[in-house]
């Protein structure tokens, strides 16, 4: 990676690079824009009201709760976080209906090793944890599938070849290890993670010079670049990484040997992101080239907000500086991407790079983007609004 070039573009961006005109801004946008620039976090009640509006809109527009693949499963991860915050029965009923529709099963069955298929296990574990008398059937599939991977993790641990996989599969490994008091889950998870980070494609997907991650080996130096020849560090891919670390660190005990490395990885990523946040609170789809399809994008920004709020709350990063980052991001999403009825826009849909599912507009949304937004808001409430 051309590190000096990357840092220079970040400096230019934070200094106030010109932003494209936005549509859909409501009355009072100037006042709210000032709040975004100042990095003031709204009060708890205001954040919760926004979260409810977004969740209610999605549920109202989707009577069928959908499939059990990664995108919808990410929505339910966010919805379950909101349920834990609000104890709203409708949210629990909607999530339970989704899980029961799929018999708490996995896409492609228990023999799958694909991280995307394991994402549903996060919500199944959430539902299992709520039971006064836990029902083992709710986590039977995810436990069976991951146990198969644990069994031969010393021979095979190259399944997670793209950085999205960390968010999809690390959390259920971490949680089953805690639930069963069995560090073998954590060790298998770490072997898979280490391959992604330090071996995939040769050097691994982490760029140690910046703390940011390439989406997969095609984007490593010498591979796919931006139209101007700069690196491609995809926003949402890095968002998945931030979300994975936050979820895993919430579960693992301090005594687990690899916890310090996970903390350091998250802090390094967030430090890099702080330097390239847009003035409107968002991050561009290419973190290394602000001229490459510039504009607000909600899904990456939501997961960065979630990871930053977690890191501030747990003391991984300096509170004042990074609380401001999280507040600017949240206010930016609410001011720019949120429709009055709760529809959440500026979400880049399914893809693997900045060009995917373009253009990204005020009317672009997706289930996983909504889920990330719900995770971000609930973590900001835990951090403390106002």
Is the pTM higher than 0.85? The answer reads: yes
Report pLDDT digits (tens) over 231-276: 999 999 999 999 999 999 999 999 999 999 999 999 999 999 999 9
Please give the Cα distance from 112 to 1 (Å, whole number).
Answer: 34
Percent of the chain scored above 70 by pLDDT? 90
Cα–Cα distance list, 202 to 76, 129, 164, 218, 262 (Å): 35, 39, 18, 11, 21
pLDDT band at 88 (very low <50, low <70, confident <90, very high): very high
Is 50 exceeded by the pLDDT of residue 21?
no
Q: How confident is the model at residue 384 (pLDDT cuts 50, 70, 90)?
A: confident
pLDDT over threshold 70, residue 57? yes
pLDDT at residue 8 tops 90: no
- Nearest Cα to Cα of residue 183 among 99, 253, 88, 120: 253
Q: What DSSP element (H or E) covers 262? A: helix 259-274
39-43, 203-207, 260-264, 295-299: least confident range: 39-43
Predicted confidence at residue 39, as pLDDT, reads 84
User: Which whole number is the average pLDDT over 198-216?
Assistant: 98
Decide if pLDDT at 31 tops 80: no
User: What is the average pLDDT value for the chain, to the nearest integer?
Assistant: 92
Whole-angstrom Cα distance, residue 16 to residue 264?
Answer: 29
Residue 5 has pLDDT above 60, yes or no: no
Q: Which of 364, 384, 381 is nearest to 82 (CA)?
A: 381
Q: What is the pLDDT of residue 3?
A: 36
């Amino acid at each position: 990676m051309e590190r000096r070039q990357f840092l220079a573009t970040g400096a230019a961006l934070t200094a106030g690079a010109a932003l494209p005109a936005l549509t859909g801004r409501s009355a009072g946008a100037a006042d709210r824009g000032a709040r975004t620039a100042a990095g003031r976090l709204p009060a708890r009640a205001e954040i919760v009201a926004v979260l409810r509006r977004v969740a209610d809109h999605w549920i109202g527009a989707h009577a069928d709760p959908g499939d059990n693949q990664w995108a919808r499963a990410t929505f339910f991860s966010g919805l379950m976080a909101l349920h834990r915050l609000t104890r709203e029965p409708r949210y629990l009923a909607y999530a339970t209906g989704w899980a029961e529709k799929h018999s708490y099963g996995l896409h492609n069955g228990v023999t799958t090793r694909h991280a995307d298929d394991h994402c549903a296990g996060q919500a199944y574990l959430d539902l299992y944890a709520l039971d006064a008398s836990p029902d083992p059937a709710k986590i039977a599939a995810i436990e069976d599938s991951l146990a198969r991977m644990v069994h031969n993790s010393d021979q095979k641990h190259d399944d997670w070849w793209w950085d999205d996989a960390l968010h999809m599969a690390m959390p259920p490994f971490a949680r089953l290890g805690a639930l069963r008091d069995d560090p073998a889950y954590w060790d298998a998870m770490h072997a898979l993670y280490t391959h992604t980070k330090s071996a995939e494609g040769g050097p691994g997907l982490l760029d140690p010079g910046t703390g940011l991650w390439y989406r997969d080996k095609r984007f490593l130096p010498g591979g796919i670049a931006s139209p101007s020849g700069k690196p491609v560090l995809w926003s949402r891919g890095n968002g998945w990484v931030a979300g994975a670390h936050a979820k895993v660190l919430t579960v693992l005990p301090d005594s687990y040997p690899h916890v310090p490395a996970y903390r350091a990885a998250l802090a390094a990523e967030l430090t890099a992101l702080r330097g390239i946040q847009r003035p409107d609170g968002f991050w561009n789809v290419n973190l290394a080239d602000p001229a490459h399809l510039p504009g607000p994008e909600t899904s990456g920004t939501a997961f960065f907000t979630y990871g930053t709020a977690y890191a501030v709350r747990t003391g991984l990063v300096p509170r004042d500086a990074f609380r401001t980052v999280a507040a600017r991001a949240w206010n930016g999403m609410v001011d720019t991407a949120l429709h009055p009825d709760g529809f959440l826009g500026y979400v880049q849909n399914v893809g693997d790079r900045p060009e995917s599912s373009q253009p990204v507009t005020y009317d672009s949304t997706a289930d996983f983007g909504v889920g990330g937004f719900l995770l971000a808001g609930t973590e900001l409430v835990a951090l403390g609004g106002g």
